[in-house]
Amino acid sequence: MATSYAVTTPIYYVNATPHLGTAYTTVAADALARFERMDGKDVFFLTGLDEHGQKVAESAERNGMTPQEWCDQIAPKFQEAWRQLSISNDDFIRTTEPRHMRGVQAFWTDLYEKGYLYKASYEGWYCIHEETYYTESEVVDIDGEKCCPECKRPLRYNSDGEENWFFKLSEFGDKLLAYYDEHPDFVCPQTRRNEVVSFVKGGLKDLSISRTTFDWGVPLPFDEGHVTYVWIDALLNYITALGYGGNEEEMAEFNRRWPVQYHFVGKDIIRFHCVIWPAMLMAAGLPLPEKVFAHGFLLTKGEKMSKSTGNAVSPADLIAIFGLDAYRYYFLTDVPFGNDGSISMERMVQVYNADLANTWGNLCSRAFNMAVKYFGGKVPELSAEDYAAMEAKHGNPLKEVAEGIYAEYSQAFNNVAFTDVAAAASKLSQRANAYIEEMAPWNLAKDESLGTDLAFVIYNTLEAIRLLACYYAPFMPNTSETAFESIGLSGVTEIVNLEDVSAWGLLPAGNPVTKCAPLFPRLNVADLGLE
Ligand code: ME8
């Protein structure tokens, strides 16, 4: 049986529709999931929505809806956005689903019985937007007002001594530090790991895990007047979606899938994922996820791009200009995954033209046109002897480049270094374009005695295209499918042994070759009417 491989995104708040930031994490997780499927793993790719909490209840009220109605009309917008982005998630969990709520209750019952919870009254600074308490030393002063260190909104001082349930997080500091030590890759990249370690070394306080001031959440099974703190509720999605808290069959599935290989998150939520979540799992006696990878922020003109700061562009706007695959390619490659980085329309046009229109797209148009023109729309046939003779005469630079790619490409995927993944594949598309120039098939076609030479060059170019369609598929599944179809193949995303299909020379001679519309028509910044 294939190895289980699971990757998750954060579950997004339903207070905003999908934007470039949430799409960023989701596309990245999708590319990895697609690669791992092609590489033979039994993949489970999970995303979903975080639907509880005061913020959601307030948004619903402002819009004259019940919280459930509010969530029910936002959820399809996310599902539609992910469909438009060709996201291949295997499940979509919503925290208002019964399967999640029963899992949350099972989890807290377990921790209650194990003695990790206690009740106490609470005073402190509270941010409704972040749904988080902050200590006096964490709050920031803005124009004389105490504000949230994360979102900079004014805080409310909760002094009425609200009774809360607490999780004994403070007991886990040493265990966490020992764990980070023994598992140096648990938090990636290193900068985030250092941040997490120094945070834990600074000492952990117990964590309030329930609220009584509103009721839009999962009731604690042992104290019904309390609903679960939204963050704690949300983190549990990673196990409830796999079947935790369910019947025997569901628990068997959970045990098969858990722990997952990757949680992909933005760097804004690492404390929750790298401190609180592992401590919760330790308390429950469950293994920890293999890796939490925290990527950086996308910035536009130096500012974090988000719904609340008003500088979010919708993915649909950009897809309308660049096309879906180019959108995915740009976001995966321009900013090294893990770093912060600026994105801009100008830069997007540059990358689009250089890497896609002039390289991969151009290669496809030229090769398909020549196969149609010189070989009547068929992959040229050469006997093994002729192929060997041509190799001896001309060398075979594309084969040489192609043979090193799988190792480099899969290693880059293992490191979730998407920029390097694309660079590994692009070596072949650049080399193939240069090869066409060097071999000048249009000259070979003028001399009948060079028919075998021409067949050799066109075969090699089409074979490079087959490989590139495979390698680009996790990033650009739709254009890869089109390229595959143009050389008489189908189902690029159905590949389950990428290493095997990456061998040189597998394109069947005689396969039909058809022209296709340009995969990436050239774009001009001036034509786009941009600033
Ligand atoms: O935090 N650049 O949900 P959320 C890059 N519900 N990524 C960005 C970004 C930007 N400018 N803006 C947002 C939540 N993101 C919780 C998660 S999980 C148990 C609960 C991405 O809707 C990034 O992945 O605010 C960040 O972590 C996530 O969106 C926050 O999504």
pLDDT digits (tens, 9 = 90+) for 212-265: 888 999 999 999 899 999 999 999 999 999 999 999 999 999 999 999 999 999
Q: Is the CB of 131 under 6 A from ligand 1?
A: no
462, HSE (Cβ side, Cα atoms, 13 Å): 34
Q: Ligand 1: which of 50, 280, 311 to mutate, most ligand atoms within 8 Å of CB?
A: 50
Task: Give residue 133's pLDDT.
Answer: 80
Atom 8 of ligand 1, nearest CA residue: 21
Cβ contacts of 60 within 8 Å, gap of 6 or more: 66, 67, 69, 70, 71
List, in sequence order, every residue forming a beta bridge with 158; answer none if it has no partner: 124
Q: pLDDT tens digit string along 60-89?
A: 999 999 999 999 999 999 999 999 999 999
Nearest protein CA to atom 24 of ligand 1, as residue: 266
Question: Ligand 1 center to residue 455 CA distance, Å?
Answer: 51
CA distances to 171, 278, 424, 427 from 405, in Å: 48, 37, 6, 8
Instruction: Quote the percentage of the chain above a pLDDT of 90.
Output: 86
Domains of the chain: residue spans and CATH: 4-313 (3.40.50.620), 345-526 (1.10.730.10)
Check residue 380 and report its DSSP letter.
P
Question: Rounded CA gap, 329 and 298, in Å?
Answer: 15
Q: How far is the CA of 416 from the centre of ligand 1 (A)?
A: 18
d(CA 260, CA 286): 12
Q: Give the whole-angstrom CA distance, residue 488 versus residue 232.
A: 50
326-338 residues labelled b (16+ CB within 10 A) or e (exposed): bbbbbbbbbbebb
Query: Given the structure tokens 């998630």, which residue do they identify?
Result: 89
- Distance from the CA of 231 to the center of ligand 1, in angstroms? 13
Residue 499 DSSP one-character state: H
User: What percentage of the chain exceeds 70 in pLDDT?
Assistant: 97
498/293 Cα distance (integer angstroms): 24
CA distances from 337 to 73, 441, 451 (A): 32, 39, 46
Residue 363: name the closest of 443, 472, 451, 446 by CA.
472
pLDDT digit string (tens) for 330-364? 999 999 999 999 998 889 999 999 999 999 999 99
Ligand 1 atom, smallest distance to 269 CA: 27
Name the amino acid, one letter, at 452: T
Residue type at 437 in one-letter notation: E
Whole-angstrom Cα distance, residue 125 to residue 94? 29
Backbone region of residue 293 per phi and psi (left: phi > 0; alpha: psi in -120 to 50; beta: other values): beta
pLDDT value of residue 130 = 79
Helices 324-333, 315-322: axis angle to 10 degrees equals 110
Ligand 1 atom closest to the CA of 268, numbered from 1: 27
Can you give the pTM of this predicted structure? 0.94
Residues 380-436 pLDDT 10s: 999 999 999 999 999 999 999 999 999 999 999 999 999 999 999 999 999 999 999
Instruction: Say if residue 259 is preceded by a cis peptide, omega within 30 of 0.
Output: yes
Longest CA span, the chain: 94
Task: Indicate the pairing of strand 42-50 with strand 4-13.
Answer: parallel
Three-state SS for 231? helix
- How would you classify the pairing of strands 219-220 and 223-228? antiparallel
Task: For residues 324 and 481, give the distance between their C-alpha atoms in angstroms, rounded to a whole number.
Answer: 13
Distance 78 CA to ligand 1 centre (A): 14
Whether 150 is in the pocket of ligand 1, judged by its Cβ within 6 Å, is no
Please tell me if the CB atom of residue 266 comes closer than 6 angstroms to any atom of ligand 1.
yes
- Rounded to the nearest 5 degrees, what angle is found at the Cα of 319, between the Cα atoms of 315 and 325? 110
CB 94 within 8 A of CB 71: yes
Distance between Cα 295 and ligand 1 center (Å) = 10
Instruction: Copy the structure tokens of residue 291.
Output: 């890796």
